[in-house]
Chains A and B, each alone.
Chain A
């Protein structure tokens, strides 16, 4: 059966790269005794794919992984078993079975929400001011560097929601394969509108969740409720 796992990636594992996380899960499944499905060939491997890469140094309370396991296993028990042998910072939040023909998490992602915490040296009124200024602009142009060239992009329409409270800027951003913007880019824009020099160490970022079109959290998309 095909399943979707929602998990956290918090301290101290926020610096793990994509392949590191993959190896972690592969071994976590093994330790937890989960019966996985394997690819064919002399070196069979587990089939898994992640919804959306997360930048190094960003924590997340809502990451997703799709994979195939042998039928007839209790998903609630798998969750418990995995959490028993997991590593600090990785916690399985939910495991759900996917319907036949479900869209891959990777292809379904349309939005991502984040909390960007701004360091306490900056007064919260100031942060609020910057957030409001951003909401009130019609457009906000940034230079987006791709491998080959630089391109002007208006990020304002890519920000679906944005609010600030107690130095935390909460935002929902486009995260599809075509239209997308990084949380850090939006944070930079808010800093710019506050008139404060942006530096990476002035913020910490946490991804909250991923959504499909219609703001359906991925854990509810095409999943079979138990």
Chain B
């Protein structure tokens, strides 16, 4: 039951990987376009291979398609080679399943997973021939709705979206669709629909709100425009699923033909995290930590493997070792799947005796590496960021692993964290050196399988909304590079320098990401400007053009000094304050103060800190009470 391709053979033959655009994958869903009431285009604003790796998109796709009156299809960004051809030949962006133009749909949902995809959002609206600004869209134009983690602060994209869905997608989409249908049936206008939608919990319609600014550029007030006063909520409550077992899980995910970056079945065991690292946005906005039951996971693991034929199953969560039934789950998976030759992959495990034992069962020890993410080089700084991993943990874990035959270690750190000194930076090198020395002390010469290989990677700290560090400044790119330089030199000065490889992220990208993460709606102008000057695929190192960004920033009234390099006042109104994440600003302030005092906060399992997320009535907050 294929669709007539939107692109002729002539074009498909002239571009890279044409199968990105032809659809028809196994488990993709075809419906009769005349038999559905709502057509929803679900878009991941990056390349097919990236978007198809994303679980959240598959969840919404299957959830919406469960309903007979909705046909949800997929859309991805178009690589520049095809983009140019489509622009020249005036071919509008189309959805994969029906190959129909997206502009003829009822909804275009765009998932915002990382800030560096923002220019792609404009690029695809433009290619879809949809007016870029929400205010220019007419009654029969598609409703553009944004979702995903970046809606923690949607303001930099405010003018481009009709609405944002703030929070987890499983809660109010059906309700929103019903309102849309009812409005359409009575011939209601776009504005009427938007107003009704604005009253659905979690739905934010940016055009109904406005910010008033102080002379110095900070926000004086933010709230509904006068004409909407009393008609729309003052605060948007972030949506959180109370019980993950009660929600939708895609048991028949679409299997991409073109190899996706994550080319495997994915089982989300938990959402959220109990640990509360102070730099981590996911750790706050996905509170409380919620688990899926063992029965649920067993059942879905089987379904998914049977329905996809994947040869690999990956368990995902922010910290899989914290899953309370991890041993039972692994036991089941190994028994169930080993004869079917299904590999189990286990990212984000804490290294201890137990996890090493499991890893040695499911991975090739000689090829796999140990991963630690201490994030900071000294205990002092780890206390500041509340990263509950100590040097002893790392050394003990490593020693056990060396005995087990591992000789590759990956270490992840951040540079530029609040209160960081040169000692903290050098501490990264010293910790790496200790691990190397430990290897040579532990493993006798005749048992060594070559040198130890340590890879140290650093990213630059980017303060994010809804974290205790949301007020913190960033450094200039040069300062970041000096820090990376200091670390590099320290590593090179040590005995085992030849066993340690060091790589660091691009400082300029980090600064722009910092701008987009904490910007207000005036930053939209910069995004538009840089897009008009040809930027797209900024998440791709080869495509990111810092100079273009700097030129656009220079043309705007407020620049990096205001948005990135400035320490915000604790009492300042932040652009995302109107979102209620369940964790009040007061808690963040307390955590911030504790960070500066180098005091740690126990994780949710040890002791509840009363962060506020218990309002969502689920998860860890109710597991270990009494």
Interface residues of B in 340-360 (CB under 8 A from A): 340-341, 343
Write the nearest CB–CB distance from A120 to chain B, whole angstroms: 15
Residue A151 at the chain B interface, CB threshold 8 Å: no
Chain A residues whose C-beta falls within 8 Å of the C-beta of B13 in the assembled complex = 56-57, 200
Inter-subunit contact A30/B257 (CB<8 Å): no
Q: How far is the CA of A15 from the CA of B258 in the complex (A)?
A: 10
Residues of the B chain whose Cβ atoms lie less than 8 Å from the Cβ of A148: none
Contact of B9 with A57 in the complex, beta carbons under 8 Å: yes
Contact B311 A200 (CB under 8 A): no
Enumerate chain B interface residues (CB-CB to A < 8 A): 1-3, 5, 8-10, 12-13, 17-19, 22-26, 255, 257-259, 263, 305-311, 340-341, 343, 364, 367
Interface string of A1-41 (1 = CB under 8 A from B): 00000000001110111011001101111111000001000
Q: When the two chains form their complex, are residues A23 and B259 in contact, meaning their CB atoms are under 8 A apart? A: yes
**Closest chain B CB from A5 CB (angstroms):** 16
Question: Is the CB–CB distance between A15 and B18 below 8 Å?
Answer: yes
CB distance from A184 to the nearest CB of B (A): 11
A20 touches B9 (CB 8 A): no
B-side interface mostly: loop
Which residue, A12, A20, A43, has most C-beta atoms of chain B within 10 A? A12
| Nearest CB of chain B from residue A9's CB, rounded to whole Å | 11
Number of A-B contacts (CB under 8 A): 86
* Shortest distance from the beta carbon of A26 to any chain B beta carbon, whole Å: 7
Contact of A11 (CB < 8 Å), options: B2, B306, B364:
B2
- Asked if A201 contacts B10 (CB within 8 A), the reply is yes
CB distance from B1 to the nearest CB of A (A): 7
Check A20 against B19 for contact (C-beta < 8 Å).
Answer: yes
What is the bound-complex CA distance between A200 and B9, given in angstroms?
8
Tell me, rounded to whole Å, the shortest Cβ–Cβ distance linking A40 to chain B. 12
The 10 tightest CB contacts between A and B, nearest first, are: A30-B309, A27-B309, A12-B24, A31-B309, A201-B10, A42-B364, A15-B18, A87-B26, A15-B19, A12-B2
CB–CB A204/B9 < 8 A? yes
Q: In the bound complex, do residue A57 and residue B12 qualify as a contact, i.e. CB atoms below 8 Å apart?
A: yes
Q: Is the CB of B19 within 8 A of A29?
A: no
Chain B neighbourhood of A26, CB < 8 A: 309, 311
A-B contact pairs, 24 of them (CB 8 A): A11-B24, A12-B2, A12-B5, A13-B257, A15-B19, A16-B257, A17-B17, A20-B258, A20-B259, A24-B257, A27-B255, A27-B311, A30-B310, A30-B340, A31-B307, A31-B308, A38-B341, A43-B364, A57-B13, A86-B26, A87-B26, A87-B257, A88-B24, A89-B24
Q: Specify which chain B residues have a CB less than 8 angstroms from the CB of A72 in the assembled complex.
A: none
Nearest chain A residue, comparing its CB with the CB of B21: A15
Residues of B within 8 A of A56 (CB): 13, 18
Contact of B22 among A15, A42, A43 (CB under 8 A): A15
> A20-B258, A24-B257, A27-B310 known; 16 other A-B pairs, CB under 8 Å?
A12-B23, A13-B19, A15-B12, A15-B18, A16-B258, A23-B257, A26-B311, A27-B309, A27-B311, A31-B309, A32-B309, A57-B13, A57-B18, A88-B2, A200-B10, A204-B9
Chain A nearest CB, measured from B49 CB (Å): 12
A44 within 8 A of B: yes
A87 interface neighbour in B12, B18, B25, B263, Cβ under 8 Å: B25
